[in-house]
Amino acid sequence: MLDHLRIRNYALIEDLKINFQKGFNVLTGETGAGKSIIIGALNIILGEKASMENVRTGEEKAMIEAMFDISNNLQVESILEHSGIEHERGEMLILRREITVDKKSKNYVNSTPVPLSKLKEIGDFLVDIHGQHEHQSLLKINTHIELLDKFGHLEKEREELSISFEAYVQLKDTLEKLQMNEQEKTRLLELLKFSIEEIEIADLKAGEDIELDKEYNLLNNQEKLFQSVESSYNNLYGSESDLYSKLKETINILSDVEKYDSNIVSIKQNLEEAYYQVEDAVATLRDYKSSFQFSPERLESVIDRIELINKFKKKYGETVEKIVAYKEKSLMDLQAIEKSEEEIEKTKEAIRTKEGELNKLAVNLSGRRRVVAKLFEERIMEHLNDLDMQKSLFQVNIAYIEKPGGIVHIDEKQYKLSATGIDNIEFLIAPNVGEELKPLRKIVSGGEMSRIMLALKTVLNEVDKVNTLVFDEVDAGIGGKTSDVVGKKMDFLSRNKQVIVITHQAQISRYADKHFFILKEVVGDRTITRLKELSYDEKVQETARMIAGENITSTTLQHAKELIESA
């Protein structure tokens, strides 16, 4: 609900604040007083484009601010949450726009700067303006199917179809992922099988590459190693001047003189220990020599094995452990691909089942919609007749779009399906006899448009999500009895909605819960638009003016009073 509208330095308005209330709000005044300026400002705060030419002459910027009570407005609260705009539940929502002469306009929601598109997105769920301006949610084709479903209480069937359609889309996505390009699939299968077989034949062992490197170093240096062992053995043993013989001879010499000096005994003992160590080394070298076998074949085998492992490392992993792990993963991938054939068939069967389910749901929902559409058309026509549009024709156009391979089959034809069904719904109108039915958005007459919208809003009163309705010049081209019917319908709408109306008809304004009078004055050398909330006596005076113009008599005043009280 619109709580108040504040306008500063916009067109002829210097500073104006309008405090609206629940129910029926009426704005009246003489032609040219500035009623359309107020509606224009409201359009701008709801996201319509603004022009710097609207800034009051001599000022740098215009400011428009609107405060809304959005209690229970879940759509707006959801937008605020997803947009990161701070708002406490229960608090008023404030929209503000600043229009500058240097084209640097700014938009705010609760003091948070926002792009114009965000302001418009929020505004679409706050106010519907009908008449000469274009802030009309009912003109948007994508809302027609939703409104028809709400009118017919078809939300449950539509939700069931939507859930089923979403599941169908997920199944199709799963199938697409399962079904590779057959050529690519064959290539991958062959590659996996080859890799697995190649690694399994190699029969690699953990740490094998390290052990092979050690063996290679040994085998590759066998000749040098044997020569070194042979020379070492000969130096220690095997000749008259070898170390073993020299030690033995030295020990014998010292044995002859050890009785003369105790120091000799210690020296002799050290040499005997060295003698036995050399004796052990000689034995070890002798055994090493006798067991030594030079094998060029083994060296070649080790080189081949190392080269094979190095090749595998380049292809499958940096270590033997990673190569083995690659084989295990390849086995799993191979099994998954082979198993995917089974999954593909299961998914295809699930898709076929889901298509049958969707076909049934969509056809049934479409049938229900066609029945509801007839009732909807009748209700709209009843209200158009009341609104002096007896010769008009209103129709809910329901069409299917053919699509080769479509899910839904009717009379051997295939049709496109979406989450809302197969129906493409648009409201059509022929305002006058002999005219063809046209979309609502192509209606030219502002008066006709307002009355059509009033009929739609009356029928959809309980299901339409927008809580504030604004009708600009809704009385254009009507009078007398029809105006009174319009007033009664406005009054009916205001039981559940906030209704704001600009009118020239006393038969409409008499039903108002709150009456504002708009006037234009010259202050100094400037013209300004002002607004006044009328008391009961002032409302009687304004009603008399609307009936008789400036020639107001006591009879006119009495008639105006009776008109208001009878409402």
Co-location of 15 and 107 in the same domain: yes
Asked if residue 471 belongs to a domain, the reply is yes
Question: Which pLDDT band holds residue 134 (cuts at 50, 70, 90)?
Answer: very low
523 in the Ramachandran plot: left (φ > 0), alpha (ψ -120 to 50) or beta? beta
Co-location of 495 and 505 in the same domain: yes
- Give me the domain span that covers residue 271: 184-334
Question: Which pLDDT band holds residue 566 (cuts at 50, 70, 90)?
Answer: confident
C-beta of residue 27 within 8 angstroms of C-beta of residue 534 = no
pLDDT number for residue 421? 94
Co-location of 93 and 228 in the same domain: no
Asked if residue 26 belongs to a domain, the reply is yes
Of the candidates 289, 309, 334, which is a domain's last residue? 334
Q: Is the whole model's pTM more than 0.85, yes or no?
A: no
Q: Which of 146-155, 179-188, 534-543 has the lowest mean pLDDT?
A: 179-188
If we measure between CA atoms, which residue out of 553, 565, 521, 557 comes closest to residue 14? 521
Asked if residue 138 belongs to a domain, the reply is no
pLDDT digits (tens, 9 = 90+) for 508-534: 999 999 999 998 888 877 888 888 999
Q: What is the mean pLDDT of residues 284-313?
A: 79
Q: Which of 28-32, 226-230, 540-544 has the lowest mean pLDDT?
A: 226-230
Co-location of 116 and 10 in the same domain: yes
pLDDT number for residue 477? 67
Q: What is the mean pLDDT of residues 155-166?
A: 94
**At residue 226, does pLDDT exceed 80?**
no
If we measure between CA atoms, which residue out of 118, 101, 94, 98 comes closest to residue 41? 98
Q: What is the 3-state secondary structure (H, E, C) of 470-487?
A: EEECCCCCCCHHHHHHHH
Average pLDDT, the chain: 86
CB atoms within 10 A of CB 259: 9
Q: Quickly list DSSP for 97-111.
A: EEEETTS--EEEETT
Q: List alpha helices for 179-221, DSSP H.
A: 182-202, 208-220
Take residue 181 and report the two structure tokens written for it: 């390009």
Name every residue whose Cβ is closer than 8 Å to that of residue 444 and which is 6 or more positions away in sequence.
Answer: none
Co-location of 514 and 562 in the same domain: no
Co-location of 61 and 198 in the same domain: no
Asked if residue 388 belongs to a domain, the reply is no
Residues paired with 25 in a beta bridge: 500, 514
Co-location of 198 and 329 in the same domain: yes
Name every residue whose Cβ is closer than 8 Å to that of residue 9 and which is 6 or more positions away in sequence.
Answer: 15, 55, 56, 59, 61, 62, 63
Co-location of 8 and 106 in the same domain: yes
CA distance 268 to 275: 10
Co-location of 100 and 209 in the same domain: no
Co-location of 562 and 518 in the same domain: no
**At residue 447, does pLDDT exceed 80?**
no
Asked if residue 409 belongs to a domain, the reply is no
Asked if residue 143 belongs to a domain, the reply is no
Report the relative pairing of strands 438-439 and 424-430 from DSSP bridges. Answer: antiparallel
Asked if residue 386 belongs to a domain, the reply is no
Of the candidates 315, 334, 353, which is a domain's last residue? 334
pLDDT digits (tens, 9 = 90+) for 197-214: 988 888 888 888 888 888
**At residue 8, does pLDDT exceed 50?**
yes
Q: How many domains does the chain have?
A: 3
Q: Quickly list DSSP for 237-256.
A: SSSTTSHHHHHHHHHHHHHH
Question: Which pLDDT band holds residue 51 (cuts at 50, 70, 90)?
Answer: confident
CA distance 299 to 292: 14
Co-location of 10 and 109 in the same domain: yes
pLDDT digits (tens, 9 = 90+) for 163-201: 999 999 999 988 887 776 667 778 888 888 998 998 888
Question: Which pLDDT band holds residue 292 (cuts at 50, 70, 90)?
Answer: low
If we measure between CA atoms, which residue out of 198, 6, 199, 197 comes closest to residue 98? 6
pLDDT digits (tens, 9 = 90+) for 61-106: 999 999 999 988 888 998 998 888 888 887 899 999 999 888 778 9
Of the candidates 334, 349, 383, which is a domain's last residue? 334
| Cα 86 from chain centroid (whole Å) | 20
What is the domain-level CATH number for residue 94? Answer: 3.40.50.300
Question: Which pLDDT band holds residue 145 (cuts at 50, 70, 90)?
Answer: very high
Co-location of 71 and 1 in the same domain: yes
Asked if residue 211 belongs to a domain, the reply is yes
